[in-house]
Amino acid sequence: MDLWLRESQISDAVMTYKIKQTLIRKKTKYQDLAIVDTYCFGKMLVLDGIVQTTVKDEYVYHEMITHVPLFTHPNPQKVLVVGGGDGGAVKEILKHPTVERVVLCEIDQEVIEQCRKYLPEISFALDDPRCEIFIGDGIKYVHEHKNSFDVIIVDSTDPFGAAEGLFGRSFYKEIDECLTENGIFVAQTETPFYLPEVVKGIYNDAKAVFPITKLFMAGIPTYPSGFWSFTLGSKKYDPQKVDLSSSVNINTKYYTKELHKACFVLPKFIENLTK
């Protein structure tokens, strides 16, 4: 008998994956958590039936959500990750030699514990001494830490249900106050193909807060449509104008200095969402 995971985040479309084995499935305090081993993408973290990351393609998402803001900022030393309990963002952040401290603020401790157990390929950097793990509400944490971080990365689940408060103008104002005077933030902001109004709304909310706001794209096979957006808000530094010629070289599989600039060149239908 074949076992298949059926993801139906988009009401009129589904994505399916053939499963070798279910490694863990449990109901946490906040969500339904599963880690499964698939034939096509290897081990996969699934929350409330929606694929969050896989061993095979995690590098695309995690490299783009981290290296774009970190290479835009001239000297990122303190970084906050809201969400991101799988540890993939922390793994990429700690490749930057200027980074002294990363705080991972994750509301669901079970995500961290199970990813440490079943996804060590992604989560190993959570044990780095520069990484501080805080279990709790990201909105509350941001509110209580003014002027504390050079870069904030909102590595959340989709803007529905428990994560809804991590999107929107009021939270972006809190992020603005949590950042230092030259700070930068980035959030994952959904698929413009299936959810254009969601992408547009998030972009406009960020633009109302940050003087420099840019949308950029990456191709992520396991996310609906395979075409994913990120929104960057910056107080001072423009990611398209930054000089990367003297920046350090780090080990990546997707991100490059050339792609850093190119990812902001948008197809016309996406560019229209930013107007």
For the purposes of burial, counting CB atoms within 10 Å of the CB of 21, is it exposed (0-12), middle (13-18) or buried (19 or more)? exposed
Amino acid 240: pLDDT: 97
Q: Alpha helix (H) ranges present in the chain?
A: 58-72, 88-93, 109-118, 120-123, 138-144, 169-178, 196-207, 257-262, 268-271
Look up residue 56 and give its two tokens. 């095979």
pTM score, two decimals?
Answer: 0.95
Amino acid 4: pLDDT: 94
The arrangement of secondary structure in 3-54, i.e. its CATH architecture, is Roll (2.30)
Phi, psi values for residue 81, rounded to 5°: -115, 120
Which residue numbers belong to the known binding site?
31, 62, 86, 106, 137-138, 155-158
Residue 161 has a CB neighbour count (10 Å cut-off) of 11
* CA count, 13 A, side-chain hemisphere, 33: 18
Which residue numbers belong to the known binding site for spermidine?
62, 86, 155-158
List the chain domain ranges.
Answer: 3-54, 58-274
Which residue numbers belong to the known binding site for S-methyl-5'-thioadenosine?
31, 106, 137-138
Write out the catalytic residue numbers. 155
Output the CATH code of domain 58-274.
Answer: 3.40.50.150
Give the residues across from 214 on adjacent strands.
232
What whole-number distance in Å separates Cα of residue 230 and Cα of residue 53?
16
Q: How far is CA 90 from the centre of its chain?
A: 10
Sequence-ordered list of residues with C-beta below 8 angstroms from that of 148, at least 6 positions apart, any chain: 78, 80, 178, 179, 180
- The label of the residue with tokens 């995500």 reads 111
Phi, psi values for residue 200, rounded to 5°: -60, -45
Amino acid 123: pLDDT: 98
Look up residue 106 and give its two tokens. 């994750």
What whole-number distance in Å separates Cα of residue 137 and Cα of residue 149?
17
| Identity of the amino acid at 46 | V
Residues recorded for the chain: 275
Amino acid 165: pLDDT: 58
What whole-number distance in Å separates Cα of residue 184 and Cα of residue 256?
19
Let me know: does 49 contact 42? Beta carbons within 8 Å. no
Look up residue 80 and give its two tokens. 């906050």
Amino acid 157: pLDDT: 64
Let me know: does 256 contact 203? Beta carbons within 8 Å. no
Going residue by residue through the chain (275 aa), what tens digit of pLDDT does each one get? 789 999 987 778 899 999 999 999 999 999 999 999 999 999 999 999 999 999 999 999 999 999 999 999 999 999 999 999 999 999 999 999 999 999 999 999 999 999 999 999 999 999 999 999 999 999 999 999 999 999 999 998 666 555 555 667 889 999 999 999 999 999 999 999 999 999 999 999 999 999 999 999 999 999 999 999 999 999 999 999 999 998 999 999 999 999 999 999 999 999 999 99
